[in-house]
A and B are shown apart, each in its own frame.
Chain A
Amino acid sequence: MQPAIEVQNLHKSFGELKAVDGASFNVPQGEIYSLLGPNGAGKTTTISMLSTLLRPDSGDALVMGHSIRKDPMGVKSVLGVVPQDIALYEDLSARENLTFWGKMYGLRGAALKQRVDEVLEIIGLTDRQKGRVSKFSGGMKRRVNIGVALLHKPKVIYMDEPTVGIDPQSRRSILDSVIALKNAGMTVLYTTHYMEEAQELSDQITIMDHGKLIASGTHDELVKIVGQMDRIRLTINAEGARVVTAWKSTPGVKQVTAEDGTLNLLVDDSNQVLPRLFDAATTSGVRITSVDIQLPNLEAVFLHLTGRALRD
């Protein structure tokens, strides 16, 4: 089956900054595909190019067979976009917003009214449909923001960090709706810097950093990059440099990075390595004030590949 999205060597620069540097990936139809990376990694620029808002410097992408360069209107006709920022008319009600956007997607008359009713049901705002968006909570606005993209039943939907800045309950609701979209047969391209979201939702994940795609695969495939290594986060009461050298030479330690008073270590087996780390710290005259052990996950993969934590 033809991929829903085929990205071919996309490049985009803003002056000296290479925002996207040779991105290539395929998104199979009916899957949730996540772009995972910190702020500034190039995720939104990629989405902007794929939704024809930005013209790439070079490269191309096909969305359901429509080229973003040669057939932008064809791309838009099969696409629903949930932007990172809430894009709604605050002085209009939820229903008025959905009705207006439905018209912009080509819906009219009874079909429009019926679809607006369905979407209000999907986003759980039937009871509040006449309320002005300006009076809504952040989570409710996010739900309307998503609802707009569903109006014309697009084959492909882009969701650019849709859970930023909302309460846990609304976040849970949005994640459930993303899974529901997949179950309804839609292809979802999802960007996030929350490892847990990518892990929970995605069939496939691509990790981005500084405009480059640095790893792609399923969650399990990506985790294998760091093997069975555990991740240990330590805080100490002194300069990290006094103990880093000692810990790097400790058996079982694969990588040590220091950031803002926190030391991140990738180790073979935390149970065996931890006593040695305490011994080395004592020898160096350093006191360990906290310890956090994490099993292999995408955070560890990102740390392994970039030397930095994902949340930074």
Chain B
Amino acid sequence: MNHILDIALNDLVQIVRDRKVFLFLLIMPICFTLLFGYAFGGFSSGGDSDPRLPVAVLDEDDGRFSQELFALLKGSEVIRIETDLEKSRFDYEKALSDGDLAGIVTIPAGYSQAMLDGQPIPLDLWADQASTTGTTVQNEVLMAAKRLASAVWTAQITSQAAGKTADFDALVSEALLAWQEPPIRIEATSGVVAEEEPSQSVMSMAHTAPGMILQFAIASLLTAAQVIVSERKSRCLQRLLTTATQRVHILMGHFLSIFAMLFTQFMLLIVFGQFILKVDYLRLPGATLLVAVASVLCIAAMGLLIGVLAKSEEQAVMFSLIPMFVLSGLGGAWVPLEFTGAAFQTIGHASPIAWAMDGFKNIIVRGLGLESIWLPVAALVGYAVVFFGLAAWRFRSE
């Protein structure tokens, strides 16, 4: 056991003294996480402080019920009213076409009177109905308008029944209040997808951040493989084999150092993702830790195998580049597998990266529980055992 720790520490001391390693292990992953997050729609307008969809409301009626509608929309949990008296209609239309607004609602003149007459006139809604965002805005606005119309209608019936003594305004307010505490409430829950969806930028980062962690962990295979290749090149590996140190201890010592290096990288990037990019890794910290450990075990074993197989630095580079591109691409580290077809998703799961992505996304994107990570973790540990076994078998003839 002492020899394993001694060899691991010896590796780590040499790795730490190489400043280039920090560039690959930490700086580049952070830069690429930000870059890919931006590319997939992160940092959209509105920022992360209010995740609701921005919608402009133009009140051409300026009547009692148009103000009630405005108040209803202002209280929405889905849309956020953009009001800027300095802006013209043209400005809002430009903002909509630039993607800075999710929709424009115009309350036409005569809206309030038409409501009182029992002949409500439709709102003028501009939104991209081909997109999820547009239909969400449309549903939210129409729902508010229907609530208001129902409240007015209810108040009119009640007023007629009560006679002149009834306060029509109070009846309308009471009817609207009733929507907030309805006698019957239907709640739809799902075991798969969380009801509350975070903002677009956070969602894109939730896809990107674990992908980049895995991508750069795979890229660190080269550093990992070089640990053994360099030792062989310097003849120290052969010298180690002349000491009374067992071969399996030598292998495990190197594996431990690679594991420690990659795990440190994982933890730093998870902390960066959690606190800077607002990716919710800590929703289930134990599950995140388990997926991270299993992922690192798998990638470290792969690095060990490459180090044992590669007889030169050139071979180490070549053997590392293949999994770096193939496994990362196939496993959804660059583009989420959800964007691909069923066949590609099945093929992609031949890559351990796909299982690692599943594990992370089950926690941070799909909002699932601890039970959802057991299969990905088992798959990753299985890959790790196979890779380590192959490395040990090959190392016997070193």
| Residues 82-106 of A contacting B (Cβ, < 8 Å) | 83, 85-92, 96, 100-101, 103-106
Is the Cβ of B234 less than 8 Å from the Cβ of A88?
yes
Is the Cβ of A106 less than 8 Å from the Cβ of B244?
yes
| Chain B residue nearest to A81 in the complex (CB) | B242
Interface-forming stretch among B10-18, B50-58, B88-96? B10-18
Is the Cβ of B235 less than 8 Å from the Cβ of A103?
no
Is the Cβ of A53 less than 8 Å from the Cβ of B10?
no
| Residues 53-110 of A contacting B (Cβ, < 8 Å) | 53, 73, 76-77, 79, 81, 83, 85-92, 96, 100-101, 103-106, 108
Is the Cβ of B18 less than 8 Å from the Cβ of A53?
no
- A105 vs B245: C-alpha distance in the bound complex, in angstroms? 8
User: Closest CB of chain A to B260's CB: distance in Å?
Assistant: 17
Is the Cβ of A100 less than 8 Å from the Cβ of B235?
no
**Which residues from chain A contact B239 at a C-beta distance below 8 Å?**
81, 83, 87, 101, 148
| Chain B residue nearest to A51 in the complex (CB) | B242
- A123 vs B241: C-alpha distance in the bound complex, in angstroms? 24
Is the Cβ of B234 less than 8 Å from the Cβ of A76?
no
| Residues 139-183 of A contacting B (Cβ, < 8 Å) | 148
Is the Cβ of B244 less than 8 Å from the Cβ of A90?
no
| Chain A residue nearest to B5 in the complex (CB) | A103
Is the Cβ of B236 less than 8 Å from the Cβ of A53?
no
Q: Which of B2, B235, B236, B246 has the most CB of A within 10 A?
A: B236
Q: Which of A87, A101, A103, A104 has the most CB of B within 10 A?
A: A104
User: Closest CB of chain B to A96's CB: distance in Å?
Assistant: 8
Known: A103-B2, A103-B6, A104-B3. A89 touches B236 (CB 8 A): yes
| Chain B residue nearest to A86 in the complex (CB) | B235
Is the Cβ of A89 less than 8 Å from the Cβ of B242?
no
B165 at interface by CB-CB < 8 Å: no
Known: A83-B239, A104-B240, A104-B243. A92 touches B6 (CB 8 A): no
Is the Cβ of A87 less than 8 Å from the Cβ of B234?
yes
Is the Cβ of A79 less than 8 Å from the Cβ of B242?
yes
User: Closest CB of chain B to A306's CB: distance in Å?
Assistant: 30
Q: Which of B240, B241, B244 has the most CB of A within 10 A?
A: B244
Give the interface size class of chain A. Answer: 20 to 34
Please pick, from A51, A86, A89, the residue contacting B10 in the complex, using a CB distance under 8 A.
A89
Is the Cβ of B244 less than 8 Å from the Cβ of A87?
no
**Which residues from chain A contact B238 at a C-beta distance below 8 Å?**
53, 83, 87
User: Closest CB of chain A to B36's CB: distance in Å?
Assistant: 34
| Residues 207-241 of B contacting A (Cβ, < 8 Å) | 234-236, 238-241
- A53 vs B18: C-alpha distance in the bound complex, in angstroms? 31
- A53 vs B240: C-alpha distance in the bound complex, in angstroms? 10
- A101 vs B228: C-alpha distance in the bound complex, in angstroms? 17
Please pick, from A52, A76, A77, A85, the residue contacting B235 in the complex, using a CB distance under 8 A.
A85
Is the Cβ of B243 less than 8 Å from the Cβ of A83?
no
**Which residues from chain A contact B243 at a C-beta distance below 8 Å?**
76, 101, 104-105
Is the Cβ of B236 less than 8 Å from the Cβ of A87?
yes
Is the Cβ of A91 less than 8 Å from the Cβ of B244?
no
Interface size on B, residues (CB 8 A): 20
| Chain B residue nearest to A100 in the complex (CB) | B10
Chain B interface, >50% SS class: helix
Known: A53-B238, A87-B239. A103 touches B18 (CB 8 A): no
**Which residues from chain A contact B18 at a C-beta distance below 8 Å?**
91
- A92 vs B11: C-alpha distance in the bound complex, in angstroms? 10
User: Closest CB of chain B to A79's CB: distance in Å?
Assistant: 7
Known: A103-B3, A104-B3. A89 touches B234 (CB 8 A): yes
Q: Which of B13, B14, B239 has the most CB of A within 10 A?
A: B239
**Which residues from chain B contact A101 at a C-beta distance below 8 Å?**
239, 243
| Residues 87-110 of B contacting A (Cβ, < 8 Å) | none
- A87 vs B13: C-alpha distance in the bound complex, in angstroms? 18
**Which residues from chain B contact A90 at a C-beta distance below 8 Å?**
234
Q: Which of B6, B240, B242 has the most CB of A within 10 A?
A: B242
**Which residues from chain B contact A85 at a C-beta distance below 8 Å?**
235
Known: A73-B244, A76-B243, A106-B244. A92 touches B235 (CB 8 A): no
Known: A79-B242, A81-B242, A104-B243. A87 touches B235 (CB 8 A): yes
User: Closest CB of chain A to B250's CB: distance in Å?
Assistant: 9
Is the Cβ of A104 less than 8 Å from the Cβ of B245?
yes
**Which residues from chain B contact A83 at a C-beta distance below 8 Å?**
235, 238-239, 242
**Which residues from chain A contact B2 at a C-beta distance below 8 Å?**
103, 108
**Which residues from chain B contact A148 at a C-beta distance below 8 Å?**
239
**Which residues from chain B contact A106 at a C-beta distance below 8 Å?**
244
| Chain B residue nearest to A73 in the complex (CB) | B244
Is the Cβ of A92 less than 8 Å from the Cβ of B3?
no
**Which residues from chain B contact A104 at a C-beta distance below 8 Å?**
3, 6, 240, 243, 245
Known: A87-B234, A89-B236. A76 touches B10 (CB 8 A): no
Known: A103-B2, A103-B3, A104-B6. A92 touches B13 (CB 8 A): yes
Please pick, from B13, B242, B245, B246, the residue contacting A52 in the complex, using a CB distance under 8 A.
B242
User: Closest CB of chain B to A69's CB: distance in Å?
Assistant: 16
Known: A87-B236, A87-B238. A76 touches B6 (CB 8 A): no
| Chain A residue nearest to B398 in the complex (CB) | A53
User: Closest CB of chain A to B232's CB: distance in Å?
Assistant: 10
**Which residues from chain A contact B240 at a C-beta distance below 8 Å?**
104
Per-residue interface assignment for chain B, residues 1 to 34, with 1 indicating a CB less than 8 Å from any chain A CB and 0 otherwise: 0110010001001100110000000000000000
Q: List 17 A-B contacts (CB under 8 A).
A: A51-B242, A73-B244, A77-B244, A81-B242, A83-B235, A83-B239, A87-B238, A87-B239, A89-B236, A92-B10, A92-B13, A96-B13, A103-B2, A103-B6, A104-B240, A104-B243, A108-B2
Give the top 9 A-B pairs by smallest Cβ distance, nearest first.
A87-B235, A87-B239, A104-B243, A81-B242, A76-B244, A85-B235, A103-B6, A51-B242, A91-B14
Q: A53-B238, A87-B239 are in contact. List 20 more A-B contacts (CB 8 A).
A: A52-B242, A76-B243, A77-B244, A79-B242, A83-B242, A85-B235, A86-B234, A87-B236, A91-B14, A91-B17, A92-B13, A92-B14, A96-B13, A101-B239, A101-B243, A103-B2, A104-B6, A104-B243, A104-B245, A106-B244
